[in-house]
Amino acid sequence: MEAFEPTIIAFVCNWCTYTAADLAGTARMVQSPRLRLVRMMCTGMVDPKYVIKALLSGADGVLISGCHPGDCHYINGNYKARRRVKLLNEILTGFGFDERRLKLTWVGASEGNEFAATVNRMVEDIRALGPSEAAAVQAL
């Protein structure tokens, strides 16, 4: 049997973390290829549905990453994202999802190294956790 390799969906904001991801790439930093990036205009527009859909559709983890507090291009989208992640964590952990599967981080546009480190750390964590608790469910 092949070793488990996690699939992680990442929703990253255009202004900070996506730019950092771009920087990490152009600087040829070593990153796990297990992450699928979805570029959003702001973490404040990451609808809880996106996270739920990802986890039900086979993602083993979801990363949401945006600007540091105070740096949001839209003033306060990241604060709203934080409340939504808090809400989602309360809901999902009640049904046995490990809370480490949903992660919110702040990675600024210049922090390419921090982005690569975040990706590698999360892939390690989820690899250790194993496949999503939803993997066995045939109902979406």
Partner 1 sequence: MPSVARLPVENGNPVRAMQELLRRLLAEDDIVGVFAPRQPPAKGAVMPSLITDPEALASVDPASPSFPVNAAQQVARLTRGDLDGKLIAVLRPCELRAFTELVKLNQGSLQNLIIVGADCHGAFDNDGFRAFMESNGGKPGIDNSADFLRRVSAGEFTAAANGGPALARACRACEHPAPEHADLTIGLFGQDTSRDVLLIPGTAQGEALVSRLGLATSGSGAGRDEALTRIRAERTAYRDAMFEETRAATATPAKLAEYLAACVGCYNCRAACPVCYCRECVFLTDVFAHEPWQYLGWARQKGALRMPTDTLFFHLTRMAHMSLSCVGCGQCSNACPNDIGVMELFRTVAARTQSAFDYEAGRNPDEKPPLTVFHQKEFAEVTGGHD
Give the interface with partner 1 as residue ranges (CB under 8 A): 48-49, 52-53, 56-58, 69-70, 76, 79-80, 82-92, 94-97, 103-106, 132-134, 136-140
- Tell me how far, at minimum, the Cβ of 69 lies from partner 1, in Å: 6
**Residue from 4, 1, 93, 81 nearest 48 by CA:** 81
Nearer to partner 1, 19 or 103 (CB): 103
Q: 123 Cβ partners below 8 Å, 6+ apart?
A: 6, 8, 32, 34, 35
- Tell me how far, at minimum, the Cβ of 56 lies from partner 1, in Å: 6
- Tell me how far, at minimum, the Cβ of 26 lies from partner 1, in Å: 25
Nearer to partner 1, 23 or 54 (CB): 54
Residues present in the chain in total = 140
Q: What is the Cα–Cα distance from 79 to 72, expressed in whole angstroms?
A: 9
